[in-house]
Amino acid sequence: MSVDTTAGQEQDKHSQTALTLRSIAFSHYNEKARWALDYYKVPYVEYRSLPLCHIISMFKYRAKTHTPGAGASGFVTPHLTIESKGYSASEDKNKEKVTLNDSTKIVEFLSDQYAAPANSNGRHSASPNLYTNDEASRTKVQALEERFDNMIGPHVRRVVYYEILVQSPSSVGRSLGQHNNAGKLQTWIWSIFFPIIAYLLCKVMHINEVSASRSRDILKREFEHISRVLESGPPGPAYLVGNQFTAADLTLASLGGLVVGVTEEEGYGAWVPRMSVFRPEAKAFLEELRQTTAGQHILECYKLHRGRKAPGSSYGFKCFGLW
């Protein structure tokens, strides 16, 4: 596939390719991939799962040759399939199928395929390159993205899961399986087997008071560091690299959104609990991060750059619409 330049060609490309995202709906790494899809206004079908149920959903799509990064299994999400439409039966479909099971690879792929070309500022041009059109800035963006993937993502997951699975399982944890975060059958499984699911998730991901407290400290330090980076930039709208929204901002906002209380109404691509339902200690922690320059930057990125799903996007279901 090549990078096209005009709106007409863009339209054409969208109608010639079918994109399917397989996700754990409320997961922040999935939010990162979804954000990039929505940013470039690419229509896609999203098949959503709940944790552990995702093993069944992802069984056919599991990574068979290597294990993805720390904390992730072969059944890892986000998982994006890109297929060309309109084959004759005799054509080799595999030649036209791309599969990506890592949020960073997905963002890079989408930016590469759908970004507006350098020097384009036409009325109909697509969103700009999330990695910039300048080599030095690209390197900075990638370094920050990697840092956030490793230093924000896993710690946000641990802190949030600790609150919902350990501290407020019945009031908050159970609700994650509802609100259309997956098909009805998964919702029932989540609700009936919730205590076992919560126990297993905590075991597998080493979620407990000690690890959560360590993750809270790391997040505080990271937010302080990011705030300093933002505060030391030139006057004007603050972005992490140069004066444009890049994959670094997108990664920080998508991975950090849950710990500053971003909700579905504010743009998060799945239902997540509001800050107000957490216990006071958790609320205070989220509020503290929200008030930092980094926290405010995340909210600003959601306001200014979190596009909605492109027309033609939908949710996919299996099992007669139940899964």
Ligand X SMILES: N[C@@H](CCC(=O)N[C@@H](CS)C(=O)NCC(=O)O)C(=O)O
Among residues 63 and 275, whose Cβ is nearest to ligand X? 63
Interatomic CA distance for residues 165 and 60, integer angstroms: 28
Question: Of the listed pieces 9-17, 100-108, 212-220, 234-242, which binds ligand X according to CB under 6 A?
Answer: 100-108
Interatomic CA distance for residues 203 and 192, integer angstroms: 19
- What is the nearest approach in angstroms of ligand X to the Cβ of residue 169? 19
46 binds ligand X (CB under 6 A): no
24 binds ligand X (CB under 6 A): yes
75 binds ligand X (CB under 6 A): yes
157 binds ligand X (CB under 6 A): yes
Among residues 78 and 183, whose Cβ is nearest to ligand X? 78
Least Cα distance to 148 among 84, 205, 223 occurs for 223
Backbone angles phi, psi at 19, to 5 degrees: -110, 135
Question: Of the listed pieces 21-29, 36-44, 306-314, 315-323, which binds ligand X according to CB under 6 A?
Answer: 21-29
Structural tokens at position 283: 């609320």
Among residues 238 and 270, whose Cβ is nearest to ligand X? 270
Question: Of the listed pieces 67-75, 91-99, 123-131, 307-315, which binds ligand X according to CB under 6 A?
Answer: 67-75
Interatomic CA distance for residues 37 and 313, integer angstroms: 10
29 binds ligand X (CB under 6 A): yes
Figure out which of the listed residues 77, 132, 187, 227 binds ligand X, where binding follows CB under 6 A: 77
Interatomic CA distance for residues 30 and 258, integer angstroms: 12
Among residues 32 and 290, whose Cβ is nearest to ligand X? 32
102 binds ligand X (CB under 6 A): yes
Among residues 157 and 306, whose Cβ is nearest to ligand X? 157
Task: For residue 235, say if its preceding peptide bond is cis, omega within 30 degrees of 0.
Answer: no
Name, in order, each residue with C-beta under 8 angstroms of 221's C-beta and a sequence gap of 6 or more.
none
3-state helix, strand, coil in the chain (%, to 5): 55, 10, 40
* Residue 276 one-letter amino acid: S
Q: What residues form DSSP beta bridges with 81?
A: 20, 99
Binding residues for ligand X, rule: CB under 6 A, are: 24, 27, 29, 68-69, 71-73, 75-78, 102-104, 149, 157
